[in-house]
């Protein structure tokens, strides 16, 4: 809408935070930078503007006319095209009255920028042998790091071996810097192929590790208008694919934008089929096709089940493919139930957890808005913060992705613009130096 009506439409974002962490101005500013918001945003942390417009849901769009009247209020996720006609008629009408002011500059954002760092809002990390793969989302690229011993110590150094993506957002297949991504997220390796959830492009990409090639294996580059449909992967539009894992020779995609898990067959003639989630946003367990999820992000597989971080319900949930396929919840009780509390099952609380990984027979949870890592026993449902710095809430900053290998936990410490190394036993946190 901003692009369609330049110089006419003045956009002001009103952030009425659901989570306590989202009511802090510095976090909102960081999110604006990460999501490339160009218009100003007001922190409506006491919901005063929310109430004055009688808002009932996120998101809501209100259009105010040049003479101060409320033209329309629309709630929910809907295509921008539904408002284009209304705006075109309004602009024409108010132009005829001479009330559209094209001479004054529109308000612009004043969000503070982070310093120039090697990584910018890294979102996911994958450990594989002596390599780390990193979704450097803020730079729209995927990195391959080779881990080397640093001097005479056991502290590793991450040497950048390869970088895919030209550094600008786009959907371009090619090799290395001749390719393009847009806010890449989840990573999983399958043989000599690295699969990438290319969230901003609503696509799944494949990187050939042997020849450095980048191809698109699912998605059209367009946002699915209402929901994802089963069918040919190459011709099916997706909605914010966020996390990836392997299951029975298929790729499982956590589709945050449609509140579902989808299954992508690998190989020629790849097809997409629904794995779990009816498409509504809620926390409802039961048969997989009827269960309701809420922005599933990180997903991992172990044994006979899939485990996923259901971010908007601040929960960790499980899919047992069956038959019959069932979804249940290990931690979390609802869309508006969140906090920072150790305990078992329904007594434990998380705040917008975004990723999960296996370590020592338990799940490591990126409790993103609490700035902590937590350990979850899937049998007892006991969920507790890691000892030491990793569980303190002070050493990490919006950890978005976790990976574990040989007693080491690798963290995409998103708002700190770094990869953090966490000792799985002590919880000590250090930063991976990258060359």
pLDDT in tens, 92-151: 999 999 999 888 888 887 767 777 899 999 999 999 999 999 999 999 999 999 999 876
Provide the pLDDT confidence category of residue 256 given band limits of 50, 70 and 90. Answer: very high
- Across the range 72-94, mean pLDDT stands at 90
79 vs 251 pLDDT, higher one: 251
| pLDDT tens digits for range 191-228 | 999 999 999 999 999 999 999 999 999 999 999 987 89
Q: What is the pLDDT of residue 269?
A: 87
320: in domain:
yes
How many structural domains compose the chain? 2
Strand ranges (E), 108-240: 124-128, 131-136, 141-149, 156-164, 174-175, 184-190, 193-198, 203-208, 213-218, 231-232
The closest alpha carbon to 254, from 283, 223, 221, 228, belongs to 228
Sign of the CA dihedral with 96 first, then 100, 101, and 102 last? negative
Burial state string for 296-327 with b = 16 or more CB within 10 A and e = fewer than 16? bbbbbbeeeebbbbbbbbbbbbbbebeeeebb
Provide the pLDDT confidence category of residue 231 given band limits of 50, 70 and 90. Answer: very high
103: in domain:
no
The residue whose two tokens read 């690998």 is 266
Give the separation between CA 53 and CA 321, rounded to whole angstroms. 44
- Across the range 262-280, mean pLDDT stands at 94
pLDDT over 70 percentage in the chain: 99
Residues 190 and 301 in one domain: yes
Q: 42 pairs with which residues across the strands?
A: 14
Do the Cβ atoms of 396 and 372 come closer than 8 Å? yes
Q: 306 pairs with which residues across the strands?
A: 301, 319
- Across the range 377-384, mean pLDDT stands at 97
62: in domain:
yes
Q: Tell me if residue 336 falls in helix, strand or coil.
A: coil
116: in domain:
no
Q: Return the CATH number at 74.
A: 3.40.30.10
Q: What is the pLDDT of residue 10?
A: 92
Residues 365 and 410 in one domain: yes
308: in domain:
yes
Domain that holds residue 36: 13-96
Helices (H), 42-149: 48-52, 81-96
327: in domain:
yes
Q: What is the pLDDT of residue 310?
A: 98
Reply yes or no on whether the pLDDT at 163 is more than 90.
yes
Give the separation between CA 222 and CA 286, rounded to whole angstroms. 31
4: in domain:
no
- Across the range 281-289, mean pLDDT stands at 97
Provide the pLDDT confidence category of residue 152 given band limits of 50, 70 and 90. Answer: low
Which pairs count as long-range contacts for 49-56, CB under 8 Å and 24+ apart, including other chains? 49/14, 49/16, 50/14, 50/16, 55/16
**Both tokens of residue 355?**
């990723």
Residues 173 and 268 in one domain: yes
- The chain-wide mean pLDDT, for the chain, equals 94
Residues 259 and 326 in one domain: yes
Task: Identify the domain boundary among 96, 115, 148.
Answer: 96
pLDDT over 90 percentage in the chain: 87
The closest alpha carbon to 353, from 392, 390, 300, 309, belongs to 309
Reply yes or no on whether the pLDDT at 80 is more than 90.
no
| Local structure of residue 65 (DSSP, 8 states) | -
Task: Identify the domain boundary among 79, 96, 113.
Answer: 96
Residues 151 and 86 in one domain: no
Note if the pTM is more than 0.85.
yes
| pLDDT tens digits for range 1-51 | 888 998 899 999 999 999 999 999 999 999 999 999 989 999 999 999 999
Q: Tell me if residue 23 falls in helix, strand or coil.
A: helix
Residues 177 and 43 in one domain: no
Residues 326 and 252 in one domain: yes
Q: Could you tell me whether strands 362-367 and 131-136 are parallel, antiparallel, or unpaired per DSSP bridges?
A: unpaired
Q: What is the pLDDT of residue 151?
A: 67
306: in domain:
yes
Residues 303 and 181 in one domain: yes
Residues 229 and 305 in one domain: yes
Give the separation between CA 169 and CA 129, rounded to whole angstroms. 29
Burial class (CB in 10 A: 0-12, 13-18, 19+), 51: exposed
Residues 149 and 295 in one domain: yes
Residues 39 and 176 in one domain: no
Q: Return the CATH number at 317.
A: 2.120.10.30
**Both tokens of residue 89?**
């008629």
Residues 294 and 392 in one domain: yes
Give the separation between CA 230 and CA 191, rounded to whole angstroms. 26
């Amino acid at each position: 809408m901003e692009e369609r009506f330049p110089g006419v439409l003045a956009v002001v974002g009103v952030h009425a935070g659901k989570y306590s962490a989202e009511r802090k101005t510095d976090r909102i500013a960081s999110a604006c930078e990460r999501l490339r918001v160009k218009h100003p945003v007001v922190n409506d942390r006491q919901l005063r503007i929310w109430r004055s417009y009688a808002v009932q849901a996120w998101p809501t769009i209100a259009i105010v006319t040049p003479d101060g009247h409320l033209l329309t209020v629309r709630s929910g996720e809907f295509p921008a095209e539904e408002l284009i006609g209304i705006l075109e008629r309004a602009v024409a009408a108010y132009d005829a009255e001479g009330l559209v002011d094209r001479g004054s500059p529109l308000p612009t954002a004043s969000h503070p920028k982070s310093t120039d760092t090697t990584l910018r809002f890294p979102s996911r990390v994958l450990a594989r042998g002596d390599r780390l793969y990193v979704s450097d989302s803020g730079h729209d690229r995927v990195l391959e790091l080779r881990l080397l011993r640093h001097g005479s110590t056991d502290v590793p150094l991450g040497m950048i071996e390869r970088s895919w993506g030209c550094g600008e957002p786009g959907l371009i297949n090619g090799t290395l810097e001749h390719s393009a991504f847009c806010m890449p997220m989840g990573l999983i390796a399958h043989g000599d192929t690295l699969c990438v959830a290319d969230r901003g492009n609503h696509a799944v990409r494949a990187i050939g590790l042997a020849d450095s090639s980048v191809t698109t294996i699912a998605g059209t580059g367009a946002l699915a208008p209402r929901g994802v449909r089963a069918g040919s992967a190459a011709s099916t539009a997706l909605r914010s694919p966020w996390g990836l894992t392997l299951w029975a020779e298929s790729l499982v995609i956590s589709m945050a934008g449609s509140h579902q898990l989808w299954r992508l067959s690998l190989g020629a003639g790849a097809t997409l089929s629904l794995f779990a989630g009816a498409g509504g946003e809620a926390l409802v367990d039961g048969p997989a096709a009827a269960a309701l999820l809420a922005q599933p992000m990180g997903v991992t597989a172990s044994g006979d089940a899939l485990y996923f971080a259901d971010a908007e319900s601040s929960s960790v949930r499980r899919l047992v493919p069956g038959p019959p396929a069932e979804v249940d919840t290990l931690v979390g009780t609802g869309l508006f139930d969140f906090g920072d509390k150790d305990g078992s099952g329904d007594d434990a609380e998380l705040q917008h957890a975004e990723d999960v990984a296996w370590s020592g027979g338990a799940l490591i949870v990126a409790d993103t808005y609490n700035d902590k890592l937590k350990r979850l026993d899937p049998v007892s449902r006991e969920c507790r913060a890691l000892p030491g710095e990793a569980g303190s809430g002070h050493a990490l900053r919006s950890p978005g992705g976790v990976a574990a290998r040989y007693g080491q936990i690798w963290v995409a410490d998103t708002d700190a613009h770094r990869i953090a190394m966490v000792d799985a036993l002590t919880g000590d946190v250090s930063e991976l130096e990258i060359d």
